Each structure stands twice: as structure tokens, then as C-alpha cells.
Structure 1
Amino acid sequence: MRKPIRRLLTIFAALAVALPSALAVPATAAPAASVVSEKRVDSRTLDISVSSPAIGQNGNVRLLLPDGWDTRKPGQSWPVLLLLGGCCWSDGDGHESWVQKTDIENYAELRKVIVVTPIGGKAGYFSNWKQAGGPRWEDFHLDEVLPLVEKKYGGGKKRAIAGLSMGGFGALSYAGRRPGTFAAAASYSGTVDTQLFMLGPASVQAVLLGAGLDPNGLWGDPVKDSQTWAEHNPAALTDNLRKIPVYLSAGNGDAGPLDAPGTGFDVREKTIEGMSQLVATRLALSGGKVQTNFYGKGTHAWPYYGRELKNSLPLLLGALGV
């Protein structure tokens, strides 16, 4: 009788091992980002809408197309310039702002690259939010949008990044957080030191409050969660940023030649100038390739951003080999 019992025990043991795996529910793959619509605005402008798990909604992206794009051959690609907007827009949702507010469509240099201008949230700060269930803007831009541009629209592996104001922060933060992703970065009047004394955290949290958002939802409390703040702060990422060419510009807050008559002093731009100068100095002292244009009179305004983008193109496109 012992042998049959032993056989039964052996069978039960085998079943005990096999049943859990046999009964287990197959893992469901996480949904992938996908393009859900396209709209050709004009001969050089294509708007796409991306279904994004990272931000939990459809995110709009504008592509400014290079010469020859419509007759491209299979596998043909162009370098990519990821161009980020600022915060708190009141018309549209931000992805159109660079084309609406400047004349970048007329920049001959940009006919050799694909310019990608995505939505970034009114005060998204180009980050994966610490708040539970918050948007993951970094994942949207770098892990969803860029791969889709490469897969479907001829984007290449050579990339540069630039932005204005909050987007200037985003450009340097992304380049510092993701070494090797971008060959060059530029900030135009960007909030590039979010931990500068009390000014940095106060300026960030004031923007969040103004947008009706939890001021601690982004990176947490500035003191208790200072490490999380530092992990996104360009001024704390200079060890990585010094490895690529960086362009920094800002005005001093006084009304300048591109401001409307009667424009008053802009304390925000003055603060940003100080931040940018500190980061530029830190980069220079660490051996970084930094180019600056602290142009004196000028406020936090679109005419300066467009001009500074054009001024920075030799640095950005030179790094792309264009």
C-alpha cells in the first residue's frame, strides 16, 4: 500500500506547484500611448492628439515640419527640437503658443528639423507629480510623445530642447534628469533655480496656487521634500548639464525695446535673471559649455522669447549637426 500512497502524494505535490500558475490570470499589458487624430493646419504644420496614459487624457502636440517631409522615404528622419511653452495660457491649451506668438515658421534654420511643441498643463512644471494620481508630464513628453514622433513622423535620435519661462525650467530639468537624451538645451527667462533661497519655492508655489492647484502636490513640501525638489531643479543638476551646450537668457525687468509703451518694472523677470546668472556661473565654473545673453532691459514677454530662440539656434542646431 505504501507505493500507491507515495504516488498519490507525488501527484498532489505536483498539482500544488502547477495549479497556482495554471489558475493565474494572465497579466494585462499597460495601455500604450497612441495617436488618435491628426489635423493638417497648413503646409508645414501638423497637429496631433495623443491618447496618454501618463496624463490620463488626450494631449495635443503641434509639429512644425521640415522641408521634404511630405515626400520622405521610408526610414528617413530629421533631428528633433522639443520646444516647450510657459504656464497659465488663457487661449487654446499651449501647444500652439510658439507658432501663434512668434514667427518661428519663418526661421529658415528650422526647416531642417522637426519642431515638437506639446501641451504641458497650465502649471504642470514638466514633472511627474508627487500627488497621488497626479499627471506624469515627464513621461508624457519623453516616453510617449518623442517615441511616437520617431515612429510615425520621421523624428530622429538627435534631439535638442528649449523653452520659455516654465518651459525654460522644463528644458533644463529634462536635460539634466535624462542625460544623453538631448544634445543641447536652452532656457529663455526660465525659472532655473526652484530652490533659490525663499524666492524659488515661493515663485513655484504661487503659480500653482494661481492655477487652483495644491502647492505641495507637485514635488511635496519644499522643506520636508527638499530632495524631490532638488531632483527636478536645474541648479542642482549642473553636473549633468555641463556635459552639453546650454543657452541661458533673461532681461533685468526694466521696460525694454520690445515692450509696449507704459510697461512697468517686472520683478519676476529680475528674479529670473538672478537665477539664470547663478546657474550660468555654476556651469562655467564646472567646465560647462554655457552661452548667455543677459540683455539688460526687457520684461517677461513673448517678443524676447522669440528673439532669444533665434539667437540660440546656432548653439542648438550646431549640437544636432544641422
Structure 2
Amino acid sequence: MSANVPAVLISLRTRTLLVLSVLLSVLLATVTPTAPALAAGETSTPGAEVVAVTQVAERQVDLTVRSPALGGRTVNVRLLTPDGWNPHDRRHRQHWPTLWLLHGCCGDYTSWTAMTDVAETESLRDVLVVMPEAGWNGWYSDWWNHGEGGDPAWETFHTVELRRLLERDWGAGDNRVVAGLSMGGQGALLYAARHPGMFKATAAYSGSAHPLLNDESVNRILGFFAGQNNDPLRVWGDPIAQRRIWEAHDPFHLAKRLRSIPVYLSCGDGTAGPLDQPGSTSALEADFNRQNHALAAELKRVGARHVTTNFYGPGTHAWPYWERELHASLPMLLSALGVEGDRGR
């Protein structure tokens, strides 16, 4: 059909389309792409981003997150979602009370749901539970030479990048508490102490509460740092030459910063307890038991008034105790969030 159209009309049409395309390109350059609104005080600096979302079970969603603080690596975060959670409804989206639940060394973001009944706990159906990856032995720390050697900055990933991401796009509120086991128990204490006001309460189950207690404790944590053929000095440096860095990651030395919030500490003594096989022992639990007693005494000395301890005697470094202690500490944690622990179910 175009063969019958005068050449002058074809030329005019071409010029018109060219002008429209130029105008459209200018218009698009001035329009800001749709994106979640930045909260007060936030910047537009590129941060962590979700690159995949997987529904793994009822109320369980895994986010695959790419993190600049981790050198561009992608790691996973498991969310145990509350009833009515719908972060994609931006018009009526809620920001939920949030429990950060931290895994221990040699575990990962799936540990809590795999090893405990947390996903079936009725009192958590009104809470968003965040279970982030923290590395096989990341120790919830920005490794001391991370800026030069490309080592991970786990603390920055969790407390800055992931926090902002979850609160912007995934329904997390700024009403938060934090709990964890072993390495994650230390992480829960560290995050609450090193970021005042971020968490309203903290709980540590068999946590590494005072790694500088004595040579045995120092050597033990260095052994963990050396896991997977790592240089043990990569995490906090040398315990003598970088003593200030070690103290900055030792909950005992941060006790004053925990005075104003509820703290829950629990630990066994390393001998066989009611949830162990007969004859079981754990030198690690015995060490952490001494560390937790030292931290409890220091908290009392500095005037902390909201400390709950359950030093239950016989018991090893094992999941049945941590599941039990999670339930024991939930009333305190939920109370700090202002959430009723019993929904009458």
C-alpha cells in the first residue's frame, strides 16, 4: 500500500516520528523510575538488593540478597512471616514488630527452622522473624581488615543494608528485638550493645559472652576463626596487638551499653543434662558457662536492672536446650515488642 503514498507524505511522516522520538526520550530522562520511597535520613546510595524470592513453606520466605558489604556476594535470609503479612500492598502495608533470630557457628539461615519448632510457635504469628545468613564463622562482625582485603562486613550487612531493605520493602518495623545461640548469642549481645536503640531487648543462649575471659577462651575462639582454613587473625586481628578491636566485640566489655534494655542469658555447664545422651560432655559449653557468669556479674556491677539468667546446670551445647530457651525467653522478648504472647489459640 505504501507504493501509492506520495513521497512528500512519507518524508513528512518520517520527520514527525523523529521529532516524537526525541521528545519521548527527553521526557523519559526527566521521569524518576518507580521505586520505594526513602525513609527519613536514608540516602540513595546503592545498597543491598533482593535478586530472588522463594516461598519455601507456609509463612516461610527466603530472600536472596546481593550485598556490597559482603563484596557483592549473594546470601540468603529466611523470613518467618506473620499472619496478614503482605509487603506488596504498599497502600495498606503494615510494619511488623520484628525478632531477629541469629544462627550459630557452622550453621546458616535455615538452622532455626530446621532444628526447632519456631515455625509452629503460635506466639510468633504476630511478629516478623528475620533469620539472616551470617557465614559459617562470620561472628557477626566487620572483619577488621575488610576494607583492604575484601573480607566480609557482616555487621554492616545486617544492621545497615539488610535492616534498611527489610524496613523499606518487606514489612519490617523499627520495633525490634534480637536473640541467638552460640556465635549468634554473641551477635545478639553485640548488636544490641554496639547499636544503642536498635533493639529493645536481647537474648543469648549458650552465647560467647566474654571471649577475652582467659587464655582458654581466646584460644577457643581463635580455633573457630581458623575454621575452613581461614587465617584466625582475619576476623578481629591479633588478641594482643588489636586488643581494642577484641574488646569492642566482647559483650563483657560492652556491659554498660546493655544496662537500659532487658537481657536474657542462659547456659548449661557442659555436663550431661536431661536433654542429652548419657555421658555427653561439652568443653565448649563449660567455657561459655564461665563466660556468661562473668557477663551476668558485670551487668550487675554496672547497674543493669533487667537481666534474667537461667544457668541451668547440667546441659551441653545442643539444640534441644536452645529451643527450650527460646520459648523461655519469648515472654520477655515479646513484652519488649509490646506483643501479647498468647493469642488464645
Q: Same fold (TM over 0.5)?
A: yes
Q: Residue 170 of structure 1 corresponds to which residue in structure 2?
A: 187
Q: Deviations over 1:90-145 (max 9, x none)?
A: xxxx1111000000112111111100001101110000001332100001111111
Mark the structure with the bigger radius of gyration: 2
Work out whether residues 193 and 251 of structure 2, in 8 Å CA contact, stay in contact via their aligned partners in 1: yes
State the alpha-carbon separation in 1 of the partners of residues 81 and 127 from structure 2: 7
How do 1:2-151 residues align onto structure 2 when only pairs under 5 Å count? 31-56=46-71, 57-70=73-86, 74-89=92-107, 94-131=108-145, 132-151=149-168
Query: In the TM superposition, what is the alpha-carbon distance from 1:74 to its structure 2 partner?
Result: 2.3
Secondary structure of 1:219's partner?
coil
Q: Residue 239 of structure 2 corresponds to which residue in structure 1?
A: 222
Q: Match of 2:243, as an amino acid?
A: S
Query: In the TM superposition, what is the alpha-carbon distance from 1:30 to its structure 2 partner?
Result: 5.5
- Residue identity (%): 46
Q: Residue 318 of structure 2 corresponds to which residue in structure 1?
A: 301
Q: Match of 1:284, as an amino acid?
A: K
Q: Residue 187 of structure 1 corresponds to which residue in structure 2?
A: 204
Q: Residue 25 of structure 1 corresponds to which residue in structure 2?
A: none
State the alpha-carbon separation in 2 of the partners of residues 194 and 296 from structure 1: 20
Work out whether residues 161 and 184 of structure 1, in 8 Å CA contact, stay in contact via their aligned partners in 2: yes
Q: Residue 257 of structure 1 corresponds to which residue in structure 2?
A: 274
Q: Residue 299 of structure 2 corresponds to which residue in structure 1?
A: 283
State the alpha-carbon separation in 2 of the partners of residues 253 and 204 from structure 1: 17
Q: Residue 8 of structure 1 corresponds to which residue in structure 2?
A: none
Q: Deviations over 1:159-181 (max 9, x none)?
A: 00000000000000111111111
Secondary structure of 1:54's partner?
helix
Q: Match of 1:54, as an amino acid?
A: A
Work out whether residues 88 and 211 of structure 1, in 8 Å CA contact, stay in contact via their aligned partners in 2: no
Q: Match of 1:96, as an amino acid?
A: T
- Relative to the length of structure 1, the TM-score reads 0.87
Q: Match of 2:136, as an amino acid?
A: K
Q: Deviations over 1:62-96 (max 9, x none)?
A: 0000111149662411111110000113xxxx111
State the alpha-carbon separation in 2 of the partners of residues 77 and 30 from structure 1: 23
Unpaired stretches in structure 1, ≥5 consecutive residues = 1-28
Work out whether residues 137 and 227 of structure 2, in 8 Å CA contact, stay in contact via their aligned partners in 1: no
The question of 1:212 aligning with 2:229 is answered yes
Q: Deviations over 1:198-220 (max 9, x none)?
A: 12321110111233111111111
State the alpha-carbon separation in 2 of the partners of residues 269 and 43 from structure 1: 34
Secondary structure of 1:171's partner?
helix
Query: In the TM superposition, what is the alpha-carbon distance from 1:242 to its structure 2 partner?
Result: 1.1
Q: Residue 266 of structure 1 corresponds to which residue in structure 2?
A: 282
State the alpha-carbon separation in 1 of the partners of residues 281 and 318 from structure 2: 12
State the alpha-carbon separation in 2 of the partners of residues 293 and 143 from structure 1: 32
Secondary structure of 1:279's partner?
helix
Moved over 2 A (4+): 70-75, 261-264
Q: Match of 1:264, as an amino acid?
A: S
Work out whether residues 52 and 64 of structure 2, in 8 Å CA contact, stay in contact via their aligned partners in 1: yes
